[in-house]
Each structure stands twice: as structure tokens, then as C-alpha cells.
Structure 1
Amino acid sequence: MKREQIQEKAKTRIELCEKIKQVIVDQLALDIEPTVITDDQPLFGRGLELDSVDALELVVGIDAEFDVSISDDNIGVFSSVNKIADYIEEKQEED
């Protein structure tokens, strides 16, 4: 892969993660700035302390924003922003 391709892929990944953070904040009406969320921060438990209802709302938001379907079997992709980004990239490559 050429240097330009690597740089473009990295830029695209950063933009994707920023967009995911914005969806999380908007969809769940969180009173925080998206920049507060780190890419590897746990979204559940001690992280953002999201719960199962939040997970369902997040599925709806991610599906609407990125046009990717997330089944109950794949709910584990919501452990962090990076995991969600991995899933979205994988699904978009399949199409």
C-alpha cells in the first residue's frame, strides 16, 4: 500500500470514529461533547455507563447513519467506538 493510500485510510478512519461519537451523543442525548469519548473507551460498565436500552437506541442510530444492519448476535460490537468502526468498515466492504 502506498503512503498516500495509508494516509487516506487513516484519515477516513478518524472521520468515521468522529461520526460514530457524534451519533452516540446525539442518539442517546448525552450531555457531553463527542470529543470526550475516546476510541477505545468502554461504552458500557465503567466507561460511559450505557445500558441495554441505550444499546438498542444506538443500533437504530448506527443503522440509520451508516446503513449497516446489526443483529442481536453482533451487539458485542458496541463495546467501544473502535469496535463499531471495525464493524462498519467490514460491512461496507462486503457491499
Structure 2
Amino acid sequence: MVNLQMEVKQMIIEALDLEDISASDIEDDAPLFVEGLGLDSIDALEIGLALQKRYGIKLKADSEETRQHFASVNTLAALIQSQAKQ
């Protein structure tokens, strides 16, 4: 799962064009929104598009479950793993 987390971090950096952040700067369990990376709803849309493009994962934008998946790198990696098993 460690490789998947690094992959998720790299995907976030590429999707959001974060030039001054490296994958090692992002903690696996740190919040992605408000605190932590300080991402916003536009960033969430970009990450959602990247997830759909790379992993074929479709999410409902207004779902509480989707918000929970976007909590951290760990929760995004868990989502990807759960979708891969289906």
C-alpha cells in the first residue's frame, strides 16, 4: 500500500500542478482540505477527475461518503484498493 500512497501523492501533485511540493512533503494521514495541504473544492474536482482518468473511479460530488474518501492520502488509497477488488 505504501507504493499506492506514493502514487496518490504524485497524482495529487500532478493534477493540481503543485510545483513547490514533493510527495514526501505530504503526510499519509494528514487532512487534504482546510488544514494539512489546504485544498479547496476546485482542487477536489481536479482530484476527482484524475481518479476517474487513472483508476476509472466515479464519485458523487455531493456525497458525504465522497468527502470521507477525500480526507487524506490514506483514505484515497483505501478507496482505490476497494474499487480495484470489485
TM-score by length of 1: 0.81
Query: After superposition, where does 1:58-73 map in structure 2 within 5 Å?
Result: 58-72=47-61, 73=63
**Which whole-Å CA distance do the structure 1 matches of 2:58 and 2:74 have between them?**
17
Query: How do residues 1-95 of structure 1 correspond to structure 2 at under 5 angstroms?
Result: 13-31=1-19, 32-72=21-61, 73=63, 74-76=65-67, 77-94=69-86
After superposing on structure 2, the runs of 4+ consecutive aligned residues of structure 1 that deviate more than 6 Å are none
Is the 8 Å Cα contact of residues 68 and 92 (structure 1) preserved in structure 2? no
Which protein shows a greater Rg? Answer: 1
Scaled by the length of structure 2, the TM-score of the pair is: 0.89
Structure 2: gaps (5+ residues): none
Alpha-carbon separation, structure 2, partners of 1:48 and 1:30: 10
The alignment of Structure 1 onto Structure 2 pairs a total of residues equal to 82
Query: In the TM superposition, what whole-angstrom CA distance separates every residue of 1:53-79 from its partner, at most 9, and x where no partner exists?
Result: 000001001111112112222421111
Residue deviations 1:7-38 (CA, integer Å, cap 9, x gap)? xxxxxx11111100000000001121111101
The sequence identity of aligned pairs, in percent, is 34
* Root mean square deviation, CA, Å: 1.0
